[in-house]
Structure 1
């Protein structure tokens, strides 16, 4: 009924504070779990799992599951804790789609690691030691990857405790020392003190008493904080008692007594009675070993006054044995001694330990003194068997521990061998890769060099070809120039020879034939043959004109414009053809060498001769112009023309050839266009 009312109240409080209900429920879960109110804790967890936020927020759900499972371990409900922790770890492992740098990935890995640690803790508490050892090793590996020093120190410590329970003492000490290094670096001296105590007890168990005492002294060298609190004082008394036990076991009784005196001064009335029982028991033990019997009895009696309010039955049984043993040996209270030792024997028989053989032997002595020899013998025999059994069990456990440590070392060696083999294989693979890569690089370099060399040769070959082509072109140009020069020289020679021939013929006609015709004409006039005389006169005039035309005129004092004008006037006087001339004014500005003017004159003379003799034209047009550094002369007629596809008369063809050769002499050109019955156009030009 109380739980139902609590749930109703809790639901109402959550609804009234809906804005921060998630944090409120989580805080309640922690509060009830820390205070040991596990029924209320269960109710709060049920409410959390029903929340919409729990179903939607994976991280929120996993954190609450983990906290609840930890409190279940604390409660001792290891089966439920194991199931929930396993489920939580599997959910936290689903990180395939997350990056290692993602904050959510880091949180989930942390939950996975702590869940693994809690599983190991539950297995240890449930005495599943081999499973606990493997799980704790897995938790350590995860926490090392996360570099979570706080939880890693706890994991090292837990793993050390598990290895100690498995009698794997070397591994346990190594793990404790790793945990101690971390706690000291974090200045967590409370946990460091617990770890130091564990190491010292472990050294004591393996018989390394001096090492145990040296390690135990470290607890008192750590900086002290909150020294006025009750928890600190309780912890301090506990440390002093444990250290005194180590000193007493190593027969350093005076040092142990000094340590217990410090513990006695620290004891307060409000401290737990179990702690007082432990302190007074050890005080009485040390005093008895020092021979201070009366004082020892007082402290044993003080310890016995707290027996009824102490829950640690092992400490009570130890007190019963020590007190009874002292009463038997140092007093006459035989019955009282037998009573206390029998109680110690009863406990030791239920929970066998090193106390059982000692208590049985003490009881056997008492029974012998009581003359119960048969019972004494049976007790001695039982003590012998118990001691033998404990020794066998200890050696068996120790041997199992050695075997387990040996197996671990063999596994480590196998792993190291595998890693070495992998490293060797990797090195060989890298060597092969680098060798093949080097060969490929060399081949590529050789190929590049060969390609470059071939490319260079191709370029050289092309350059050589270009050079040869250039030389061929130069030779061809030289040949062309030679041909042109030869053609020019031949043309000059031809024209010079033609001029010489014309001059000679002209001279012969003028001086010879004309004079002969003149003398004939005079004779005929004298004889009265007038008509013949007239004909001879005409023949003589034509011969004289022909001789003038053949004679080379002198143009030293004439310009091109003057020659063109004079010749045009001469052509205009012809009766059979009408000639029109147009000479641009720009021609006046030109100054040409006399030989060029002579060539132009001869070209015009040749054209006019062809026009008169062959064209049968009625009209002719002559145009002279100067443009872009070039003199253009165009002679056009409306005569019968000729076909450029058929050969012309030999005399006409020779005249056209003379025109073209003279144009070449002027470094110009000539273009003749003609068609039958459509006249002829002669266009020639030359630079000036």
Structure 2
């Protein structure tokens, strides 16, 4: 049985125990609460050709889209797309499929189908569908935290569309962007506009989403009671009307609010049920949010073991989402779309100068007919020189790398032996100074006191203190006299200033952490200093979480920030990370980095422990 199955069983046990202790407080779904109406399935079953099937599928897809059951939307839409060939209605299927992938958090897949939809609708001159797909692309930019690109796309829609529905969806999205940027006045203004329109037009789901935004604004404005009321209202209505995606978002926000109120039991019951529902619907985007809330809950309760387990699960799902996104294909489609837009602008200008260019092209073609054979010969000779040069450079580089690797291995062995020898020698000298010489001086002082020779006593006393100070300098006292976790916490408190990232630190179990050898404590302390410095300089993070855990004979250091992140496969690592890797080699430690643009960074360090006697 794998870890995820065990986690599901553990959460279901918590659900049932929570319901037994607090009957009627919260309601979760034990089975998938959506059954496709038989009438919709019968219509699709009895449809003849592809046009009839596509007409019959529209209400079926709309039903599942409104209830947030995105897997069903993807299933039926992909079946129809496979049969549709070049049918014009295929653009509608692309749009619905893109929205479903977007709801699941698979933004790259969503972008791929929005761009395909734009290509088809632009060819057909379907302005409404074209704008709908442009709205979808803007929503993907927003979901990927590319706020400037999203705002530009939304403003273009507001400037070109006459559709009031699209305009107010844009207002709702702009309210959420300003909410993310903590621009609460603008966020509330846009959310209020959207709420009024959706309420008057009877669009309940959109109305609930706008209310949820206003609830978050109330929470950030320290109006916890108002936020609590709004979240409860949204949860109850969304549950009754089976708007599962809205239900999950509101449940997760209410769970965070209960954590802030230190109502841990109700927070755990609600968040566990919401996570179980998100797993039933295979909504990985929702799973990531709720798992993060559950992790924060267990950390607040002091249950660091389960907090660490939830963090591991969170990283696993995050990797699963990234693996499912075909980034290379999507980036190529996006570039093609943007290039096509630019080419249209250029084409309009080129038409004005076409007659003048015709004459120039004729002369140029004649000249090239003579020049091209000469260029071809020169190019072939140049390529041959380049190939030979690259071969020589490659061979030289390979030889240099072999030499460097050998030198580095030897240097590491010497450094490791030197550090070990120095540490032993410093301890031996400190012991000799403190025990032997210091003891002798103390005895001499006692004998001289009996003889009453004050001048000699003073000189011996000064010599004794010098020997004691020297022995203390040889062994770092701050790692012996001060608790290690307290030393780290004291260092981190100096960054608790306005404008800096908020840093939280947990060590578990603290008594085991204190037992690690002094040399390793010194290196862990320096590694934390390097990571904090990198986060302050480069990440633009507002929050940093550090966990130091001893588990199964391993010391685990988990460093996470919510900054701008980076592409690990293309970004060159700086001197700081290289220094950390060199330090870890002394202790057979390993470092792994999990980062993605706009998604923050997680650094995981593992070191096998060897306790001091």
TM class, shorter-length:
0.3 to 0.5
Name the TM-score, length of structure 1 as normaliser. 0.35
Task: Give the number of the structure with larger relative contact order, counting CA–CA contacts within 8 Å between residues 6 or more apart.
Answer: 2
